[in-house]
Structure 1
Amino acid sequence: MSIHPTALVDKGASIGRDAVIGPYVVIDSDVTVGDGAVIGPHAVIHRYTTLGANCRVHAHAVLGGIPQDTAFKEFPSYVRIGAGTLIREHVTIHRGTKPETATEVGEGCFLMVNSHLGHNVKLGNQVIIVNAALLAGYVEVGDRAFVSGNVVLHQFVRVGRLAMLSGLSGISKDVPPFCTTAGLMPNSVGGLNVVGMRRAGIAAPERLQIKRAFDLVYRSGLNVSQAVERIRAEGLGGAAAEFGAFAESSKRGICRFIKTRDTAARAGDEESAS
């Protein structure tokens, strides 16, 4: 363990083995910093924050700040960050807004410069949040999703796993798993994240089932309930069933499908998803 002499570390904080605390870092009481974590200069880690092993926090990041909620009262709530997560400069992560609730970041995530996680956000594992993306309270993002720069996610929005959100998107509806959003068109998906699925090791037969589920939900003329019934009737399982279940469980409604020049260019790739 190495703590720079200018750092202010409360005696009530727990600092793991081989952790490195840089110049002018401030760490409150009731903070846990995992083994091998590295905290860069001027970072601030507030009370009730847990940082997993081998995380790296860059300069001026602020973790565990109180939520931007006028109804918030000063009681214990938490930020929990999984092992191996990389947090770049000026990232802000706020803790839960209700007693004993938490904002949670999975393992191996990458939060880029100036990104923000509001209270009670939940990120899965290996999620990438690009520069200046803003996630409002209670947003949920599935494993290996990619949120591009300057994306704004409305409170309570859900993003499914392996979804890819285009830069500058404004999203107030749920984004189903495996989808890409349609450029600057708000609340719109343009197709499937075929490249991402391949990289994730989803085999061709399963990708074709996902495409069938996508077509039933978005291109068949059926409403969501009818489309999900067809998904089940056709015996589509695994990730395709996950796609249907996500759409069926949406409380905000899912993003619409819109065909753009970019999505038209991708159509051939989707048609040959194998």
Structure 2
Amino acid sequence: MNQPLAYIHPEAKIAQNVVVEPFATIHKNVEIGEGTWIGSNSVIMEGARIGKNCKIFPGAVVASIPQDLKFVGEETTAVIGDNTVIRECVTISRGTVDKMKTVVGKNCLIMAYAHVAHDCIVGNNCIIGNAVQMAGHVEIDNFAIISATSAVHQFVKIGAHAFISGGSKVLKDVPPFVKAAREPLSYAGINSVGLRRRGFTSEQINEVQQLYRILFMSGLNNTQALDKIELELSPSSERDEISNFVRNSGRGIIKSYFSKDAD
């Protein structure tokens, strides 16, 4: 049901059962899937690709041009996965020539006033808290939670199932399965509550905990700790995911709060 007070460009591709509330604006080169709700005073700009059963709340802006002076008008997109909720005044920029797209996955919740910059890739089932500010090229894996008012530096990577406390400055990569807190942002244990909620067994959780004890608490550097982990712990999807993340970290990972390098 499209309200007569909404503006919808005639070239926009909108499924029959999408609800567009009064005073929403939908530009050309937009695609919106079945069952999605577009709230009043939201703006869906050129390049938006919004999936099924999403909710876009008032004041949100999806697919605005990047806040990047290198952007010269290339045709890029902002992709929103099915069942994702975009709350009030969220801003999501479309991509640049780097990735050609910005992506927010399926079943995500992006809370009010958050910003998802150009070329960010957010996985499925993520929660981005109120007023979280993400710079360009950030990558966040599935089931990660970033608490309110945190700021994420460009090119930072955050692993699956990680939990980042409110008001954090995220300047380094955050490995999978961990809690990150304090200032500077540091390893604060594993996200055991989140892992249990998502069906991880006690054996898997204990393995992750043992692995991070070696990585963060043994006094070894990252290379030495990974060599020890791969020598002493049996192969598993969790072990390999953590090892690959740390070895491939571009910015370096956070430290333990108790390590000599943390301050």
TM range (shorter): over 0.9
- The residue identity in structure 2 corresponding to 1:193 is N
In the aligned structure 2, how far is the partner of 1:31 from the partner of 1:259?
A: 49
The residue that corresponds to 1:93 in the other structure is 92
In the aligned structure 2, how far is the partner of 1:233 from the partner of 1:247?
A: 16
- The residue identity in structure 2 corresponding to 1:145 is A
Deviation at 1:237, TM superposition (A): 1.6
In the aligned structure 1, how far is the partner of 2:185 from the partner of 2:41?
A: 37
In the aligned structure 2, how far is the partner of 1:224 from the partner of 1:208?
A: 20
Matched pairs, number:
258
- The residue identity in structure 2 corresponding to 1:223 is N
- 1:95-154 per-residue CA deviation (whole Å, 9 max, x = no partner) reads 112177100011000000000000011111010001000111010111111100000000
Confirm or deny that 1:10 pairs with 2:25: no
The residue that corresponds to 1:220 in the other structure is 218
What RMSD in Å do the two structures reach over aligned CA positions?
Answer: 1.3
Checking the alignment, whether the CA contact within 8 Å between 2:78 and 2:101 is kept in structure 1 is yes
The TM-score normalised by the length of structure 2 is: 0.95
- 1:151-194 per-residue CA deviation (whole Å, 9 max, x = no partner) reads 000000000011000000001100011111123x1231211111
Question: Which structure 1 segments of 5+ residues have no match?
Answer: 261-274
In the aligned structure 2, how far is the partner of 1:162 from the partner of 1:148?
A: 13
Checking the alignment, whether the CA contact within 8 Å between 1:25 and 1:40 is kept in structure 2 is yes
Checking the alignment, whether the CA contact within 8 Å between 1:206 and 1:240 is kept in structure 2 is no
- The residue identity in structure 2 corresponding to 1:97 is T
The 4+ residue runs of structure 1 with deviation greater than 2 A are none
Confirm or deny that 1:207 pairs with 2:205: yes
Checking the alignment, whether the CA contact within 8 Å between 1:213 and 1:244 is kept in structure 2 is no
In the aligned structure 2, how far is the partner of 1:99 from the partner of 1:32?
A: 22
Identity %: 36
- The residue identity in structure 2 corresponding to 1:232 is E
In the aligned structure 2, how far is the partner of 1:32 from the partner of 1:251?
A: 34
The residue that corresponds to 2:46 in the other structure is 47
- 1:192-247 per-residue CA deviation (whole Å, 9 max, x = no partner) reads 11101111111111111111211111011111111111221122422122112211
Confirm or deny that 1:70 pairs with 2:75: no
SS of aligned partner of 2:149: coil
Deviation at 1:54, TM superposition (A): 0.2
- 1:53-82 per-residue CA deviation (whole Å, 9 max, x = no partner) reads 000000010000001111110120110110
- The residue identity in structure 2 corresponding to 1:206 is Q
Question: Which structure 2 segments of 5+ residues have no match?
Answer: none
Alignment of 1:226-265 (within 5 A): 226-234=224-232, 235-259=234-258
In the aligned structure 2, how far is the partner of 1:188 from the partner of 1:66?
A: 34
Alignment of 1:71-220 (within 5 A): 71-98=70-97, 101-183=100-182, 185-220=183-218
- The residue identity in structure 2 corresponding to 1:186 is P
In the aligned structure 2, how far is the partner of 1:93 from the partner of 1:16?
A: 22
The residue that corresponds to 1:268 in the other structure is none
SS of aligned partner of 1:217: helix
In the aligned structure 1, how far is the partner of 2:224 from the partner of 2:16?
A: 55
SS of aligned partner of 1:226: helix
- The residue identity in structure 1 corresponding to 2:46 is R
In the aligned structure 2, how far is the partner of 1:171 from the partner of 1:100?
A: 22
